[in-house]
């Protein structure tokens, strides 16, 4: 594929979604509430579509296949279950939050009123950090895709896709994201199946590839492959923790028309993502069996570039663009809405129109550093793991307070900071973990599992210990009054 043809396909695909978005949003009254939440508007099908399209980004063309090259089928299964876990978790947590805080907009609102300033600042920092890493990784992913397919400079792709996505996102907000997500949802799985079928056909079936793996790398097909089990377990912890801080999901908790739509949408989307991750992960194992996995991070592309015809490469590029735009718009609007909700709470005298314009400006500003990072071509998987570990340290302190009125802000802060410190100390670097004296001669998967387990386990232990000490040191103890959330969290005036 030539550089010129790749740019033309990028422009045509991106502009198509810009036009679709503007067409559906143009005649509707744009208010700040509708820009960041669009409350009680989507049924089960649309909720499912927007969730799947939002969570499945360009990263699925890299990370699952890379996982398959060394962690094997059990690692891929862990990856798929990890990706489904937060969506299923929202079936329960989302409904509970929606009942407690019916006029809410974000997780950070809950943390502010439930715990106070300390954990609030930690939570908003973690939320923005994770979503920005996700945003940068997505732009990095699509830039690497186009570079591999057509040798297009990374910065050119990031600029085109980033600016055109931010154009319709800044214009239409979450409504634009939902509209484009719905269209993208019905394109992703068919395009992925077509590519998989073309690869299988080009290889005259997959029997030889799997036979070669069975002979040379049998551990990749084994369900008892220890590195795969460890990495799969790590991913379940990591992805569950990270996505519970995804503001795009919290927005969709409130966009769902009813609790029934919320439950069905999140649960069905959790089921749908499992086969998508497994299919893309199998590309990595097939690449190993076809001797095309010299560079694991691009195993899928090493395979398709050597097997499929040129016309199919255009389908790959369109799929990649659909994947990345469906995630980018959600991330951009999610981060902008997090900041805007905070501005509305702290500056109640600012007019709704001013806040709306501010949210649009924030959306535009966020894409600029992400484009710069994407032009550098950093590892997509490693970027995610850093953000995931941070989230794993904070998940228990943030959400335990939904179920225990005795748990206070100080205990939550102590738990979060302690968990983060533990996770960092054990997190693997390019050569070894920071605590090299305690972890010697173990593989990367084990290092990650230790790091994530330490982050989560230490935060749980310190949080509960601090709560117990606090309870014993006071003769009287009042539980948190959850009814405050219904009265203090209000709709944003337009």
Q: So what's the pLDDT on residue 440? A: 47
Q: What's the average model confidence in pLDDT over 71-85?
A: 95
Contact 98, 254 (CB under 8 A): yes
Least confident of 1-10, 24-33, 303-312, 347-356: 347-356
Percent of the chain residues topping a pLDDT of 90: 70
When pLDDT is cut at 50, 70 and 90, the band that residue 474 belongs to is low
pLDDT value at residue 431: 59
Using the CB atoms, write b or e for 109-139: b if 16+ within 10 Å: bbbbbbbeebbbebbbebbbebbbbbbbbbb
For 174-189, write each residue's pLDDT tens digit.
Answer: 999 999 999 999 999 8
Please state, in angstroms and rounded to a whole number, the distance separating the CA atoms of residues 442 and 165: 42
End-to-end, the C-alpha distance of the chain in Å comes to 49
Q: Considering only 35-49, 62-76, 229-243, 420-434, which range has the smallest mean pLDDT?
A: 420-434
- Residue (of 393, 372, 337, 434) closest to 35 by Cα position: 337
Q: Which phi and psi angles does 42 have, rounded to 5°?
A: -110, 135
Domain limits, the chain: 3-383
Q: What does residue 184 show for φ and ψ, rounded to 5 degrees? A: -65, -35
State the pLDDT at residue 493: 67
Q: Is the pLDDT of residue 437 over 50?
A: no
Residue 167 reports pLDDT greater than 60: yes
Model pLDDT, residue 454: 93
> Which pLDDT belongs to residue 333?
94
Element (H, E) at 208: helix 207-216
437 vs 225, higher pLDDT: 225
Residue 310's pLDDT is what? 87
CA distance 396 to 369: 31
pLDDT one-digit tens code per residue, 323-358: 999 999 999 999 999 999 888 887 776 766 788 888
Phi and psi at 433, nearest 5°, equal -65, 165
Give this prediction's pTM: 0.93
- What average pLDDT does the segment 252-256 reach? 96
pLDDT in the model for residue 132: 92
- Is the pLDDT at 473 greater than 50, yes or no? yes
Average pLDDT across the chain, whole number: 90
φ/ψ of residue 73, rounded to 5: -65, -35
For the chain, give the percent of residues with pLDDT over 70: 94
Give me the CATH code for the 3-383 domain, please. 1.20.1730.10
Give the integer Cα–Cα distance in Å for 190 and 138. Answer: 21
CA 23 and chain centroid, separation: 28
Instruction: Of 275-289, 301-315, 339-353, give the range with the top mean pLDDT.
Output: 275-289
* Residue 256 backbone dihedrals phi, psi, to 5 degrees: -60, 140
Per-residue pLDDT averaged across 224-234, rounded? 91
Confidence of residue 86 (pLDDT cuts 50, 70, 90): very high
Output 441 or 161, whichever has higher pLDDT. Answer: 161
Asked if the model's pLDDT at residue 199 lies above 50, the reply is yes
């Amino acid at each position: 594929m030539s550089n010129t043809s790749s740019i033309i396909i990028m422009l045509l695909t991106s502009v198509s979604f810009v036009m679709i978005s503007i067409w559906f949003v143009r005649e509707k009254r744009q208010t700040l509430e509708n820009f960041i939440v669009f409350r009680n508007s989507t049924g089960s099908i649309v909720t499912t579509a927007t969730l799947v399209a939002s969570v499945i980004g360009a990263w699925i063309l890299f990370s699952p296949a890379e996982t398959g090259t060394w962690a094997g089928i059990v690692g891929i299964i862990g990856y798929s279950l990890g990706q489904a876990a937060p969506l299923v978790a929202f079936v329960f947590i989302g409904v509970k939050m929606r009942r407690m805080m019916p006029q809410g907009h974000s997780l950070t609102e809950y943390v502010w009123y439930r715990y106070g300033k300390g954990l609030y600042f930690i939570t908003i920092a973690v939320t923005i950090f994770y979503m920005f890493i996700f945003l940068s990784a997505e732009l990095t992913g699509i830039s690497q895709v186009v570079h591999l397919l057509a040798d297009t400079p990374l910065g050119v792709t990031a600029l085109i896709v980033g600016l055109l996505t931010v154009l319709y996102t800044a214009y239409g907000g979450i409504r634009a994201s939902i509209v484009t997500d719905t269209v993208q949802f019905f394109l992703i799985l068919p395009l992925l199946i077509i590519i998989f079928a073309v690869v299988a056909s080009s290889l005259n079936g997959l029997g030889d590839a799997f036979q070669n793996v069975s002979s040379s790398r049998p551990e990749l097909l084994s369900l008892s492959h220890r590195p795969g089990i460890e990495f799969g377990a790590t991913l379940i912890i990591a992805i569950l923790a990270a996505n519970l801080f995804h503001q795009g999901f919290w927005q969709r908790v409130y966009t769902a028309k009813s609790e029934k739509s919320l439950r069905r949408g999140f649960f069905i989307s959790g089921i749908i993502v499992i086969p998508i991750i497994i299919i893309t992960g199998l590309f990595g194992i097939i690449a190993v069996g076809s001797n095309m996995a010299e560079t694991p991070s691009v195993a899928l592309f090493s395979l398709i570039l050597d097997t499929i015809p040129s016309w199919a490469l255009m389908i790959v590029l369109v799929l990649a663009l659909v994947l990345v735009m469906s995630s980018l718009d959600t991330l951009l609007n999610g981060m902008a809405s997090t900041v805007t909700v905070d501005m509305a709470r702290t500056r109640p005298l600012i007019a709704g129109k001013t806040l709306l314009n501010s949210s649009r400006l924030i959306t535009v500003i966020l894409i600029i550093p992400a484009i710069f990072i994407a032009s550098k071509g950093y590892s997509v998987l490693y970027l995610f793991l850093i953000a995931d570990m941070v989230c794993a340290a904070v998940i228990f302190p943030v959400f335990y307070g939904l179920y225990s009125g005795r748990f206070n802000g100080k205990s939550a802060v102590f738990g979060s900071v302690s968990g983060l410190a533990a996770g960092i100390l054990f997190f693997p670097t390019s050569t070894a973990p920071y605590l090299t004296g305690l972890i010697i001669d173990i593989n990367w998967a084990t290092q990650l599992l230790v790091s994530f387990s330490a982050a989560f386990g230490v935060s749980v232990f310190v949080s509960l210990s601090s709560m117990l000490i606090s309870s014993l040191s006071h003769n009287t103890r009042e539980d948190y009054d959850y009814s405050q959330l219904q009265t203090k969290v209000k709709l944003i005036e337009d």
